[in-house]
Structure 1
């Protein structure tokens, strides 16, 4: 086993999207090769309805996939294909925009006015940029959860983990998307396929991530998988941890335990031409998308 080094730890940045939704962005609209095949990750979390109710009115997407994971409140959605529905707490929606879709997402708080969810953008390879749009809606009850003897709990949203397979499938990035809770003081190892890019996003409690490449920090154990390992400072709420190559990570939960997303995917390694909600391979393809939007041909007829 080889421990993945911690390349970077950074806090999500407050920003505003849609019609005035206040959220925190962990990454996006910067270097698309950094976490290829992933392009953007937003944490939309508020307990003030005025900060989210204006939502994300009708807007286009082409050339990407989005996954929306709701923890509190609901998100009402509709699209140009005629689909409508509501995502509740624990529910997931994976949308493949492909050749193009227009949709809207309108958050609603729970009884206490709280709203919390995440949205991740995954790139599509050139061969699938213009595929037919589709949705996968999954209820929280259909997401398998595995609980280990030490109390560690893992919800398997996408991919296979600890003998369970998540309900979302057929995704170009071949991702693994896990929602992990580790009790206070517990040290835990999680395997990740070596060829995947990987990051963690801490959103409750705090944790330290072992790093075999960092000579500073507190010694976790004499050895982990044959390597002397050190622990970085505690990473708290709204912290992104970006990992290097290897086939496992080691995390030690802080005094209040930790809950984080562990997400990985296979790099696409293709050129990226990006303008707002449209991500293609070339500037010419971007310009064509803009023309399609102007002349009303953005939505392709179903085949």
Structure 2
């Protein structure tokens, strides 16, 4: 008999503001982030009111983790102190490994219309936190996608998607945390059973519509579903849904966070603050 992963919690995101006043739905972040290891934060930005996003995210630092930005709608320009410049548009992904340090800005390139997408923070193992930073833009056209036999569209951002005989590697592969990041777009009446490695943390964020998880749990848009790390996964939708699937291998290392710095010890955080203050950051 098939064993399904237990649903541990279904929880709403919390309204938040970041950058120069950008309004967000903070899905993961704050106290208790060890429960989501290796993921540190997930923000959704979704509005057609320019006042909610126009001020953007002026220059700010990061150290010790990776950021994954996935745009559904809108235009966002990235610039950093290493000379990287990129423009994110609908369907594009930015994968930035801050490692020992990046100072960057993320500013909207529009004054009206919808701005919608996600930013996910993915932890780095201690031995990689002071490695060289890296930056990559992945255009929509270069992100693999497929349709299952049930008509579910799967955008395979990272890791891989597997269901039955269907297999598709994603645009990004990362060691250590082995992340899977999938955008699942379920038409009405469809079912999808993504295969996940045993022991990997698994999270589902319903960003559109309503989904049924493991047959007996219902999650509306704006809800995060946290799952056990053993067993199979079953997602369905009677009326159609958009679901972001996030899974990865926990690092099981100490997590010490101070704003945009995530390290393994308080001493490392204090060093990051000194480096930033003294102009030796990154």
TM-score by length of 2: 0.95
Distance 1:139 1:90 in 2: 7
- Correspondence for 1:155: 155
- Correspondence for 1:113: 113
- Correspondence for 2:132: 132
Q: Is the 8 A contact 2:94 2:137 kept in 1?
A: yes
Distance 1:109 1:235 in 2: 32
DSSP-derived class of the 1:191 partner: coil
DSSP-derived class of the 2:188 partner: coil
Distance 2:115 2:95 in 1: 19
Higher-RCO chain (CA-CA 8 Å, sequence separation at least 6): 1
RMSD: 1.3
- Correspondence for 1:253: 237
Question: Quick check: 1:84 aligned with 2:85?
Answer: yes
The C-alpha deviation readout for 1:28-67, integer Å capped at 9, x for no partner, is: 0221211100000000111011110100100000001000
DSSP-derived class of the 2:20 partner: coil
- Correspondence for 2:145: 145
Q: Is the 8 A contact 2:70 2:118 kept in 1?
A: yes
DSSP-derived class of the 1:105 partner: strand
Question: Quick check: 1:293 aligned with 2:276?
Answer: yes
- Between structure 1 and structure 2, the one with the greater Rg is 1
Q: Is the 8 A contact 1:138 1:168 kept in 2?
A: no
DSSP-derived class of the 1:190 partner: coil
Query: Displacement of 1:168 after TM fit?
Result: 1.5
TM-score by length of 1: 0.88
DSSP-derived class of the 1:248 partner: coil
DSSP-derived class of the 1:127 partner: helix
- Correspondence for 1:8: 9
Distance 1:25 1:154 in 2: 24
Query: Displacement of 1:252 after TM fit?
Result: 2.0
- Correspondence for 1:205: 209
The C-alpha deviation readout for 1:191-210, integer Å capped at 9, x for no partner, is: 11112101000011101111
Distance 2:13 2:109 in 1: 23
- Correspondence for 2:57: 56
Is there any run of 5+ residues in structure 1 with no aligned partner, and where?
A: 211-219, 221-230
